[in-house]
Structure formats: structure tokens, C-alpha cells
């Protein structure tokens, strides 16, 4: 058993800060790394030590594996937490860390490698009776044979890149005549994007829900599942709203999915925190898609409903400690929702909006958590992910968690940058969302930028009406319509929300 005394966080933004906080609570010293664009970032201020690692582009800073490892040697660091993105699912990085005698806070390099290849993953889990979408389990080499397989599966089918993930390199084929052309495109796309042209086919599930299971495993071979997260509200493979538990998963289905997820984890001798992704069809059949071998952005909703700090568990597991609980000790407590606040303009086709956070006031109150890495006055750098923060609510049931989230969105004041907050509020109020009858097509199907414009002009109308009635009553005691203590800009954002 190895004790971790000093940890380096190979990441930035909200997740770096999130990890620093748990490490501190465990009495572990923290080291931040930062690029020249992040000199004033919160993760730098919160860490015990911080080292500049290079110029702003990720390739010259947060992706510099060798530099990161050499900093660990210089500062007497004994473990590296990779967060999500950047080097978190890089097999070579995990290998280099253990070769340097350091601890990687994550699974083995072998598990990362197997799950990084869709075909290797399918092959690894094949002995575990995991439901999978009908399709091929080998790379396609012969077009004629593949066409026959597609015929027997039935169109539409989906061509996927083995090295792909998160929706990259996928192609839908509606009918046999299109098969060859789409296949050629898929292979060349896979080659240019991943340097690996291996593709396979699956039956295309047209309106799936995306439901994932959080797992935790220790180095002794114990594995538990921490229930599901519903992640169907997404746009262009970027998640927008997540919640736990899922409104459509029954206790029986939960147990079946949990058992399948444990099978997937066992198939690669998994330890650490991991997520097993499933797609769920309209009849609520679930199929294994892939396993993410990292801590995920949406992990806080699971923390809320289980009461478990996933980062602390990751660190304890990396130290070689056995899990301190069993499956039967885990219960679901209430309901939790997360919205991702992106610096994107939903009125302008979600184009990234950069600039300065002129006003930045976080919501507070019961059951609200904000994970962010910014403060008022800071710039959102153009070099990285446009996510400003994650707003997370927790309530006794789904209704309370949603209403609490809407209340918190109204409290959140952000000016200077367009954000996706209004879009999230629109979704949270939508009948299809409230009823749980939604799938991964929700945003495309139900949301248009103009809806927000309409709302804004309605607000203008109601202001005019209030002003008219104010002028007509002319009471000397009446309160001013506009609070002089707040700037006009702040007011505008409040009304817009
Ligand atoms: C699918 C699918 C339909 N049928 N596979 C997209 C991301 C990658 N992890 C797998 N994805 C999908 N695989 C079959 N056989 C539809 C998707 C998909 C999707 C999945 C999860 C969340 C959002 C999605 C959005 C579009 C397509």
C-alpha cells in the first residue's frame, strides 16, 4: 500500500479545482500546472504550489507528458490525477507515470488501451453476457460480406470507427445502394482522424436514450456500481443536461444495467472510477456502447445521490486501499440535475462566445452546487473547452431538483458573455423533459434559438405594461421600477433568465 502525500493535477479549470479540494480534505499537498493563458486561474491560486508548463495551446502545455513527469520529480510529487480530457485516457501517459515510479490516479494502462478501441472492448466483454447492438465484432475487410451482414441486420445501419468515440467517425446508411460509398468515406475519415481505418457496423437505433452507469473498482478486484446517469439531453455529442437517477429506469432495470456494467469492468480488470455507456431503445432494451476510463464531467450528480466523493475514492483506490463499502451499502438519496454552462450563444447557433465575465454572481441556497474555475472579471480563454461552469441541484425528488435548478438559473448572473443558461431553462420547463419522454434528439427536435428571442421580447412587453401602469397610478410611495443599485446590464440578464 502506497501513501500519497503530494499530488499533481494534470488539468485546468473546474475539474482541477474540484480535485484540489478533495486532496486537501485528505491532507494531501497539491501541485497545479498551468499554461501562460491560465496564470490567474483559480486552480493555480488554490493549489499549494503551481508551475507554468508552457504557452497557451494544449499541445504545448497540458498535453506535455514528459514535462509533467519531470515536474513531479523536481517537486517530490508521488501521484498524478489527470482529470478528464487532455491526457486522462492516454495509455502512454499512464505507462510513463508508472515507469517513473509515480502513481497514476486511474485504471491500469491496459484497461485504458482495451476500452480505447471499440472492437477490442467488444471482444473483451464477449464472455460476460453483456447486451450489445446487433452487428459485426470484427473490422470490415470485405465489402461484399459486410453488405450481406448489413442485409441480415436490416437497414438503417451505422458504420462506426473502432478508434472513434463520442460520435466521431459515425455514418448512418439508410439503404443498400449507399453502402459502398459511405463505407469508403467512413474508412478514410477514420484513417485521417485516428490513424486507424478499422470500422464495423451496427444496427442503427434511431431515437436512443443515453444512460450510463458509474462504477468503482479497487485493486483487490471488488467492483460496485453507483447507479445511472441520464445523459440524453445533448447537442452534437456535447452533453447539456444530466441527471441521476434516470426517470425511466425501474429498480429491476437498474439492477440489470448495474450487473452488466460490473461485467464490463471485470472484463478489463478495471480499478478506479469508470463509466459504462449504454444506449437504450424505445422499448427500454439497453446495449453496451463503450467504457470511459476516467472521471466524467457529470460525476457530481452521482456524488449527490450516493453521498460518495468520487475523487476521494479514486485517490484511496490509487493508494491500494480496498473499497470501504459493498453494493448493499449503496442507496439512492433523492434526485440530482446538472446543467453545463457553456460560453456559447444559443441564439446564434451555439457559436462560441469569448470575452470577459463582466458580471459573475453564483447562485446559492439549499441543494445548489456550482463547480467552476472562474471569477468576475476573468477572461474565458479561447484555447480550451468553452465550459464556464457546472450548476448542480439536489432535491428530495425529481420535481424538487428541477424546480431548484430553475430557481438557481434565475439567480445566476452572468454578463459580458453569452451562455447556454437560457437554453437549459427552456429544456427544464419543457413538457417532454418533465415527463421523461425524451431521447438524444431532444435539442434538435424541440429547441430553436428564436424561442429565446421571443421570450426576451415578451419581457420587453411586460416591462412596457408595468411602466404604463406605474405612470398611470403615479403613487408617490410606489417603489422605483428599476433598482438604482444594480447596473442596467445586470437587470437585462436577470429578465432574460
Ligand atoms: C449509436 C447510435 C445509434 N445506434 N449506435 C454516439 C456517440 C457514441 N458513443 C455512440 N453514439 C451513438 N451510437 C447505434 N448502433 C446513436 C448514437 C448517438 C448518440 C449516443 C449517445 C448520446 C448521444 C448520441 C447522439 C447521436 C447518436
Q: Where are the domains of the chain?
A: 6-105, 134-203, 209-451, 452-496
CA–CA distance, 111 with 293 (Å, rounded to integer): 8
Looking up cell 460520435 gives 167
Q: What is the mean pLDDT of the chain?
A: 92
Q: What are phi and psi of 471, to 5 degrees?
A: -65, -35
Q: Is 159 in the pocket of ligand 1 (CB under 6 A)?
A: no
The whole-number pLDDT of residue 164 equals 84
Closest atom of ligand 1 to 167 CA is: 7
All three cell numbers of 491 = 437587470
* pLDDT in the model for residue 1: 81
Nearest CA to ligand 1 atom 2: 205
Alpha helices in 76-155 (DSSP H): 91-99, 109-116, 118-125, 143-153
Rounded to whole angstroms, the Cα distance separating 17 from 373 reads 7
| CATH node for 6-105 | 3.40.50.20
pLDDT attached to residue 415: 97
Instruction: Identify the pLDDT of residue 468.
Output: 59
| Residue nearest to ligand 1 atom 18, measured at CA | 167
DSSP assignment string, 36-49: GGGTT-HHHHHSSE
The ligand 1 atom nearest the CA atom of 206: 3
Q: What is the pLDDT of residue 168?
A: 74
Three cell numbers written together for 178: 449507399
Q: Whose CA is nearest to atom 11 of ligand 1?
A: 167
pLDDT at residue number 496:
33
Q: Is 158 in the pocket of ligand 1 (CB under 6 A)?
A: yes
Is pTM beyond 0.85? Reply is yes
Task: Tell me which residue has cell 403615479.
Answer: 474
CA distance 225 to 310: 12
Atom 14 of ligand 1, residue of closest alpha carbon: 204
Does the Cβ of 237 fall within 6 Å of ligand 1? Answer: yes
| 6-105 and 209-451 agree in CATH topology | no
| CA angle 216–257–427, rounded 5-degree value | 95
| Residue 136 CB less than 6 A away from ligand 1 | no
Check pocket membership of 229 for ligand 1, CB cut-off 6 A.
no
What is the fold, at CATH topology level, of the domain defined by 209-451? D-amino Acid Aminotransferase; Chain A, domain 1 (3.30.470)
Question: Taking Cα atoms as reference points, which of 109, 144, 332 lies closest to residue 227?
Answer: 332
Q: Work out which ligand 1 atom sits closest to the CA atom of 277.
A: 9
CA distances from 130 to 27, 122, 445 (A): 40, 9, 31
Helix (H, G, I), strand (E, B) or coil at 482: coil
* Residue segments in the chain with a per-residue pLDDT below the cut of 50: 457-458, 474-497
CA–CA dist 2, 318 (Å, integer): 8
Nearest to 363 by CA among 308, 412, 314: 412
First to last CA, the chain: 51
pLDDT of the residue at 109: 98
Regarding the beta carbon of 208 and ligand 1, being less than 6 Å apart is answered yes
What are the residue numbers of the active site? 294
Say which residue the cell 441543494 belongs to: 367
Residue partners of 475: CB distance under 8 A and separation at least 6: none
CA of 167 to the centre of ligand 1 (A): 6
Predicted pLDDT of residue 469: 56
Best probe residue, ligand 1, of 118, 289, 443 (max atoms within 8 Å of C-beta): 289
Closest among 293, 290, 286 to 161, alpha carbons compared:
290
Which pLDDT score is estimated for 169?
Answer: 75
Residue 471's pLDDT is what? 57
pLDDT score recorded for residue 477: 39
Find the helix packing angle between 118-125 and 109-116, rounded to 10°.
110
CA of 334 to the centre of ligand 1 (A): 28
Domain 134-203 has CATH 3.30.1490.20: yes
Q: What is the largest CA-CA distance in the chain?
A: 85
Q: How far apart, in whole angstroms, are the C-alpha atoms of residue 347 and residue 257?
A: 38
Helix (H) or strand (E) holding 155: none
Distance (Å, rounded) from C-alpha 442 to C-alpha 421?
16
Rounded-to-integer distance, Cα 286 and Cα 51, Å? 45
Indicate which residue's Cα is closest to atom 27 of ligand 1: 167
Amino acid at each position: 500500500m502506497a501513501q500519497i502525500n503530494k499530488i499533481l493535477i494534470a488539468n485546468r479549470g473546474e475539474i482541477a479545482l474540484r480535485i484540489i479540494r478533495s486532496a486537501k480534505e485528505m491532507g494531501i499537498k497539491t501541485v497545479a500546472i498551468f499554461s501562460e493563458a491560465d496564470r490567474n486561474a483559480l486552480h493555480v491560486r488554490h493549489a499549494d504550489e503551481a508551475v507554468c508548463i508552457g504557452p497557451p495551446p494544449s499541445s504545448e502545455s497540458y498535453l506535455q507528458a514528459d514535462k509533467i513527469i519531470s515536474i513531479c520529480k523536481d517537486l517530490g510529487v508521488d501521484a498524478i490525477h489527470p482529470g478528464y480530457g487532455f491526457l486522462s485516457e492516454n495509455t502512454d501517459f499512464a505507462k510513463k507515470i508508472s515507469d517513473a515510479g509515480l502513481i497514476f490516479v486511474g485504471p491500469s494502462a491496459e484497461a485504458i488501451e482495451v476500452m480505447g478501441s471499440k472492437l477490442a472492448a467488444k471482444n473483451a466483454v464477449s464472455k460476460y453476457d453483456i447486451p450489445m447492438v446487433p452487428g459485426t465484432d470484427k473490422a470490415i475487410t470485405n465489402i461484399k460480406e459486410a453488405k450481406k451482414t448489413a442485409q441480415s441486420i436490416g437497414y438503417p445501419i451505422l458504420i462506426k470507427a473502432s478508434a472513434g468515440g463520442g460520435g466521431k467517425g459515425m455514418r448512418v446508411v439508410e439503404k443498400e445502394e449507399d453502402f459502398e460509398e459511405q463505407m469508403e468515406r467512413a474508412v478514410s475519415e477514420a484513417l485521417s482522424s485516428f490513424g486507424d481505418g478499422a470500422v464495423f457496423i451496427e444496427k442503427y437505433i434511431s431515437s436512443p436514450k443515453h444512460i450510463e452507469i458509474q462504477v468503482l473498482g479497487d485493486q483487490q478486484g471488488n467492483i460496485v456500481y453507483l447507479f445511472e446517469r441520464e445523459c440524453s439531453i445533448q447537442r452534437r455529442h456535447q452533453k447539456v443536461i444530466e441527471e441521476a437517477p434516470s426517470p425511466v429506469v425501474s429498480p429491476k432495470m437498474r439492477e440489470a444495467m448495474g450487473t452488466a456494467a460490473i461485467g464490463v469492468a471485470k472484463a478489463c480488470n478495471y480499478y478506479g472510477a469508470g463509466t459504462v455507456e449504454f444506449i437504450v431503445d424505445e422499448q427500454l432494451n439497453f446495449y453496451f456502447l463503450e467504457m470511459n476510463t476516467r472521471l466524467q464531467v457529470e460525476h457530481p450528480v452521482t456524488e449527490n445521490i450516493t453521498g460518495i466523493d468520487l475523487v476521494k475514492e479514486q485517490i484511496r483506490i490509487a493508494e491500494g486501499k480496498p473499497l470501504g463499502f459493498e453494493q448493499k451499502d449503496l442507496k439512492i438519496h433523492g434526485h440530482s440535475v446538472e446543467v453545463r454552462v457553456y460560453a456559447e450563444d444559443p441564439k446564434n447557433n451555439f457559436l462560441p462566445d469569448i470575452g470577459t465575465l463582466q458580471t459573475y454572481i453564483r447562485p446559492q441556497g439549499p441543494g445548489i452546487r456550482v463547480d467552476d474555475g472562474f471569477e468576475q472579471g476573468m477572461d474565458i480563454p479561447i484555447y480550451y473547452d468553452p465550459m464556464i461552469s457546472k450548476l448542480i441541484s439536489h432535491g428530495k425528488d425529481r420535481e424538487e431538483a428541477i424546480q431548484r435548478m430553475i430557481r438557481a438559473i434565475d439567480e445566476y448572473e452572468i454578463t459580458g458573455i453569452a451562455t447556454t443558461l437560457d437554453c437549459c431553462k427552456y429544456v427544464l420547463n419543457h413538457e417532454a423533459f418533465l415527463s421523461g419522454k425524451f431521447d438524444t434528439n431532444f435539442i434538435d427536435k424541440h429547441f430553436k434559438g428564436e424561442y429565446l428571442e421571443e421570450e426576451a421580447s415578451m419581457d420587453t412587453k411586460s416591462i412596457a405594461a408595468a411602466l404604463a401602469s406605474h405612470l398611470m397610478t403615479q403613487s408617490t410611495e410606489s417603489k422605483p421600477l428599476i433598482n438604482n443599485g444594480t447596473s442596467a446590464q445586470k437587470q437585462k440578464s436577470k429578465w432574460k433568465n
